[in-house]
């Protein structure tokens, strides 16, 4: 493509516009989050017409590594960023009405050049057996991000014997390797590794393994939890349940994320995501596993709901949210599954006939008023009273009725098709968590405990349709909670045997975000509190406040295993220490946690364990 640079610029512009519009469309960043939404689309025809020339290979770099995500049985999203600078595009602009093409207004430097990128995906690490490849363009309009999926199957090629064959996309449950390069040059990215999902109807030949994360706070701690999974290299896919970034200013800890202020504008969110994607442990994990992500509040703002957050509301909040959403879709390797739905991130993944994974958005799509102000709405400036007034209102929803209807359909369809497990990724803790005082009042109305009717409708659906083997995965709370899914006061539940439970919830702690009762809080006091909570809540089987970390989930036909790992001290140093804190099993058809002593020998190394003992690590 560099040869075009010798042409006259007028002819060049016309040639490029004509020759490359389809290649621009190959870059999904232009249609994320929604090409057809008036305030979130980029008018691609304007972008194409404006481009006068291409960056030379010397002018651009792969500034933020590579990533893959949202695997299907025949395709996967590949991501990179090819840019003239590590910094994000300096736009103070916040989407309003039709998004204008980037034209250098408001202090930014106009940029008329495009970057041309090619990619290949192959079955071998040396990239000899290429099964798909393509070419695309990126510009300042999308912060030079590149997002592609299987676009152009190779029409016809030859094998070693000269036999012609046609490549038809990726094979299920198969490892692939991929690489980007600057068009017509040998400037290349790292080689990445990724994996497709098992085919929907396929009997999966072995357990499928996940690492599950939430709440990765760059200034507060090192991402040792990411590094350990990369080092062990024993899983298939990474799930991140939100708070992948934090929006607030923090220059008081280990490292200062850019920009050094709270994020409001499109530039702010792009730059913040870019800062996180300089962490080498996160980059390594992205380069070897496909991620499946959903956002929580801090991808936009603390304790956000559909129309506001802890510290912003009205138009300020809504513009901020649109900027955050747009940056998220540019920077994260995820699919937009519905081009007509502005904020839809909730989506389903079929994992053979072993499981369906439903990733929910309980935060930004349609969440009704949550607790803001004070501390989770309590204390001066808090709105806890307003929320308590409506907490059991039947019209109240955490998911939005559109998503609720979809979710109930997914649960039923998954059960009817005979998928063995239903895995549900949700941001906030689902189970009732009472304080043990004031009639066991819930301690955090920002979780499902603040949206009782929505939770009741889920239990009702599971009951009405006899849906078994449901496992909920949650994050958000910066602590670990393992519970039976007990519909307290609505269906009998035996805490000793688990009889009456609908399934199991595994809620994991943070990668590095502190828990008020963890960091700088003596472990023995954390344990006492855990003991109190476990005894106050019959369905809560294990709880720990002290450790940062993650959990691994192994899904097989006969059982699901969860292993919770604690990172001793991510606050001060990078290291590979981790402690296996507790292990749990769920046997198919039992809809409850297996009881001790089958569970990890009936021993945990932190927090408090019902029906078992806790020993020092
Ligand atoms: Fe968090």
- Cα–Cα nearest to 187, from 79, 82, 330: 82
Is 595's pLDDT higher than 50?
Answer: yes
Distance from the CA of 158 to the center of ligand 1, in angstroms? 51
Is 204's pLDDT higher than 90?
Answer: yes
333 vs 335: CA distance, rounded Å: 7
Which residues does 617 contact at the CB level (< 8 Å), separation at least 6?
566, 579, 581, 605, 606
For residue 597, is the peptide bond before it cis, meaning its omega torsion is within 30 degrees of 0? yes
Confidence class of residue 105 from pLDDT cuts 50, 70 and 90? very low
Distance from the CA of 388 to the center of ligand 1, in angstroms? 23
3-state secondary structure of 286: helix
pLDDT digits (tens, 9 = 90+) for 55-80: 999 999 999 999 999 999 998 999 99
Is 21's pLDDT higher than 90?
Answer: no
Rounded alpha-carbon distances, angstroms, from residue 439 to 137, 155, 434, 536, 537: 60, 67, 8, 10, 11
* Residue 314 vs residue 469, higher pLDDT: 469
Distance from the CA of 413 to the center of ligand 1, in angstroms? 32
- Cα–Cα nearest to 296, from 357, 370, 348: 370
Distance from the CA of 296 to the center of ligand 1, in angstroms? 8
Query: Structure tokens of 552?
Result: 């691994």
Distance from the CA of 458 to the center of ligand 1, in angstroms? 24
Q: Where are the beta strands (DSSP E) in 502-600?
A: 503-507, 540-544, 548-555, 559-567, 579-587
Confidence class of residue 537 from pLDDT cuts 50, 70 and 90? very high
- Identify the DSSP state of 166: -
Distance from the CA of 43 to the center of ligand 1, in angstroms? 35
- Cα–Cα nearest to 329, from 105, 48, 95: 95
Distance from the CA of 522 to the center of ligand 1, in angstroms? 21
Is 479's pLDDT higher than 90?
Answer: yes
Res 99: pLDDT = 42
Distance from the CA of 475 to the center of ligand 1, in angstroms? 8
Q: Helices in 442-493 by DSSP H: which ranges?
A: 452-464
Q: Please, which residues have CB less than 5 A from ligand 1, an ion?
A: 215, 243, 513
Pick from 224-233, 255-264, 569-578, 579-588: least confident:
569-578
Pick from 232-241, 249-258, 411-420, 552-561: least confident:
249-258
pTM listed for this prediction = 0.92
Q: Per-residue DSSP letters for 49-86?
A: HH--EE--GGG-EEEEEEEEE---SS--EEEEEEES-S
pLDDT digits (tens, 9 = 90+) for 359-397: 999 999 999 999 998 888 898 889 999 999 999 999 999
Distance from the CA of 280 to the center of ligand 1, in angstroms? 21
Distance from the CA of 257 to the center of ligand 1, in angstroms? 16
Bridge partners of 399?
Answer: none
Distance from the CA of 567 to the center of ligand 1, in angstroms? 16
Is 12's pLDDT higher than 50?
Answer: no
Distance from the CA of 225 to the center of ligand 1, in angstroms? 15
Tell me the pairing of strands 61-69 and 290-293. Answer: parallel
3-state secondary structure of 146: strand
Distance from the CA of 242 to the center of ligand 1, in angstroms? 7
Q: What is the overall mean pLDDT for the chain?
A: 87
Distance from the CA of 183 to the center of ligand 1, in angstroms? 40
Distance from the CA of 542 to the center of ligand 1, in angstroms? 20
Distance from the CA of 476 to the center of ligand 1, in angstroms? 5
62 vs 188: CA distance, rounded Å: 8
pLDDT digits (tens, 9 = 90+) for 123-144: 999 999 999 888 889 988 889 9
Q: Per-residue DSSP letters for 425-454?
A: EESS--S--B-SSTTT-BS-TTSGGG-HHH
CA angle 335, 337, 339 (to 5 degrees): 110
Is 158's pLDDT higher than 70?
Answer: no
Distance from the CA of 4 to the center of ligand 1, in angstroms? 49
pLDDT above 70 covers what percent of the chain?
87
Res 560: pLDDT = 97
- Identify the DSSP state of 490: T
Distance from the CA of 285 to the center of ligand 1, in angstroms? 20
Distance from the CA of 419 to the center of ligand 1, in angstroms? 32
Distance from the CA of 447 to the center of ligand 1, in angstroms? 12
Distance from the CA of 216 to the center of ligand 1, in angstroms? 7
Distance from the CA of 478 to the center of ligand 1, in angstroms? 6
Which residue is it, tokens 């209807």? 405
Distance from the CA of 99 to the center of ligand 1, in angstroms? 30
533 vs 531: CA distance, rounded Å: 5
CA angle 183, 184, 190 (to 5 degrees): 60
Backbone torsions φ then ψ of 614, nearest 5 degrees: -115, 130
Distance from the CA of 510 to the center of ligand 1, in angstroms? 7
Distance from the CA of 260 to the center of ligand 1, in angstroms? 19
Distance from the CA of 576 to the center of ligand 1, in angstroms? 22
Distance from the CA of 517 to the center of ligand 1, in angstroms? 14
Distance from the CA of 513 to the center of ligand 1, in angstroms? 6
pLDDT digits (tens, 9 = 90+) for 327-364: 999 999 998 888 777 688 999 999 999 999 999 999 99
* Residue 122 vs residue 13, higher pLDDT: 122
Q: Helices in 121-191 by DSSP H: which ranges?
A: none
């Amino acid at each position: 493509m560099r040869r075009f640079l010798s042409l006259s610029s007028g002819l060049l512009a016309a040639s490029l516009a004509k020759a490359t519009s389809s290649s621009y469309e190959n870059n999904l960043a232009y249609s994320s989050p929604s090409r057809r939404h008036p305030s979130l689309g980029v008018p691609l025809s304007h972008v194409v017409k404006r481009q006068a020339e291409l960056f030379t290979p010397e002018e651009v770099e792969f500034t933020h590594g590579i990533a893959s995500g949202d695997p299907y049985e025949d395709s996967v999203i590949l991501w990179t960023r090819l840019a003239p600078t590590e910094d994000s595009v300096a736009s103070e602009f916040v989407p309003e009405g039709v998004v204008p093409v980037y034209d250098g207004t408001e202090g930014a430097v106009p940029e008329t050049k495009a970057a041309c990128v090619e990619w290949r995906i192959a079955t071998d690490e040396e990239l000899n057996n290429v099964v798909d490849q393509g070419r695309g363009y990126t510009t300042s309009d999308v912060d030079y991000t590149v997002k592609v999926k299987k676009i152009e199957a190779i029409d016809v090629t030859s094998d070693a014997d000269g036999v012609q064959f046609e490549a038809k996309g990726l094979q299920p449950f198969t490892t692939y390797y991929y690489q980007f390069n600057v068009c017509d040059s040998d400037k290349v990215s790292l080689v990445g590794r990724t994996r497709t999902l098992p085919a929907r109807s396929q009997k999966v030949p072995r357990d499928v393994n996940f690492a599950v994360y939430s709440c990765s706070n760059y200034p507060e701690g090192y991402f040792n939890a990411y590094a350990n999974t990369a080092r062990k290299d024993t899983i298939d896919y990474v799930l991140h349940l939100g708070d992948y970034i934090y929006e607030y200013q923090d220059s008081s800890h280990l490292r200062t994320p850019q920009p050094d202020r709270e994020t409001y504008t499109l530039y702010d969110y792009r730059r913040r995501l870019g800062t996180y994607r300089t962490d080498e442990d996160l980059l390594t994990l992205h380069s070897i596993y496909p991620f499946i992500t959903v956002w929580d509040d801090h991808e936009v703002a603390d304790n956000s709901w559909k129309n506001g957050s802890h510290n912003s509301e009205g138009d300020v909040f809504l513009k901020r949210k649109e900027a955050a959403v747009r940056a998220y879709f540019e920077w994260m390797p995820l699919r937009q599954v519905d081009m007509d739905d502005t904020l839809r991130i909730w989506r389903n993944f079929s994992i053979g006939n072993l499981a369906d994974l439903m990733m929910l958005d309980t935060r930004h799509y349609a969440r009704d008023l949550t607790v803001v102000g004070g501390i989770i709405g309590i204390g001066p400036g808090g709105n806890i009273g307003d929320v308590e007034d409506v907490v059991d209102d039947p019209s109240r929803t955490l998911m939005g009725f559109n998503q609720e209807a979809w979710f109930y359909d997914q649960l039923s369809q998954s059960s009817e098709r005979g998928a063995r497990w239903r895995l549900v990724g949700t941001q906030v803790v689902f189970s009732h968590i009472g304080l043990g005082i004031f009639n066991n009042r819930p301690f955090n109305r920002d979780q499902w405990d603040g949206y009782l009717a929505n939770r009741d409708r889920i239990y009702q659906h599971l009951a009405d349709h006899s849906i078994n083997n449901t496992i909920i995965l949650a994050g958000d709370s910066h602590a670990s909670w393992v519970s039976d899914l007990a519909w307290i006061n609505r269906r009998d539940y035996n805490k000793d045997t688990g009889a009456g439970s609908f399934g199991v919830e595994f809620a994991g702690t943070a990668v590095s975000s502190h828990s008020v009762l963890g960091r700088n809080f003596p472990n023995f006091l954390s344990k006492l509190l855990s003991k109190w909570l476990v005894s106050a809540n019959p369905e809560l089987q294990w709880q720990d406040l002290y450790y940062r970390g993650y959990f691994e989930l192994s899904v097989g036909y006969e059982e699901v295993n969860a292993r919770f790992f604690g990172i001793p001290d991510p606050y001060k140093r990078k290291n590979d220490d981790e402690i296996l804190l507790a292990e749990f099993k769920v046997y198919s058809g039992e809809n409850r946690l297996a009881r001790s002593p089958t569970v990890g020998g009936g021993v945990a190394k932190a927090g408090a364990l019902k029906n078992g003992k806790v020993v020092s690590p």
